[in-house]
Structure 1
Amino acid sequence: MFAAEYEPALESTDRRRSPRAPVSLDAKIGRGGLDRTLCRVVDLSEHGARLQTYSALKAGTRIWLTLPGVGQVIANVVWADDFLAGCQFEKPLKRDVFDGFLVKN
């Protein structure tokens, strides 16, 4: 029989680079006027968003997300599970733009 002592690794409570906030925003996925589909942004940070979609997305997909009052932002789908997906923006939202969403909700 073997015996060993170990020290558990400390787990980070949050891997995000910036805080996220719950929101409820109608948005669209698609480039220009092509292949646009509706979605809802259910939480948002300067670096990304969690989306509730009406059609399944795939991890690793690059999307164009149209946010109200901002326009199109390019995002990469990091994870997807049925009709929920997490995406990371290629360019973070400006702090004042992000703060504007918090005031509205």
Structure 2
Amino acid sequence: MRAPVSLDAKIGRGGLDRALCKVVDVSLHGARIHTYSVVKANSMIWLALPRIGHVAARVVWSDDFEAGLEFQTSLTPEAFEILTA
């Protein structure tokens, strides 16, 4: 189940936050983001989510300044609830 959200987040690699993004929907297994810089499909990133922290994710698809992510480890139902509250 995907839930629409509007969350300011950061994208990074190697634990360093590098670029701002906006999470526009989220599920237990992934998210769709709007980015201000291009991210490459099949790359691994860290997504810094508000109140949750860093989550490792694979970029499944990327189209200009939008991307779909698959979390390496699914969110807990509690973390999902925090993000969608």
- Which TM bucket (shorter chain)? over 0.9
- How many aligned positions are there? 84
What is the CA deviation profile of residues 34-93 of structure 1, one whole-angstrom value per residue up to 9, with x for unaligned ones?
351100000000100000000011110000000001110000000000000000000000
Matches within 5 A, 1:1-105: 19-30=1-12, 31-32=14-15, 34=16, 36-103=18-85
Segments of 5+ residues of structure 2 without an aligned counterpart are none
**Which protein, 1 or 2, shows the higher relative CO under an 8 Å CA cutoff with sep ≥ 6?**
2
SS of the counterpart of 1:43?
strand
CA distance in 1, matches of 2:9, 2:28: 16
One-letter amino acid of the structure 2 residue matched with residue 87 of structure 1? L
Percent identity of paired positions between Structure 1 and Structure 2 = 58
Runs of 4+ in 1 over 3 A off after TM superposition: none
RMSD: 1.0
Which structure shows the bigger proportion of residues in strand conformation?
2
CA distance in 2, matches of 1:63, 1:75: 5
TM norm structure 1: 0.76
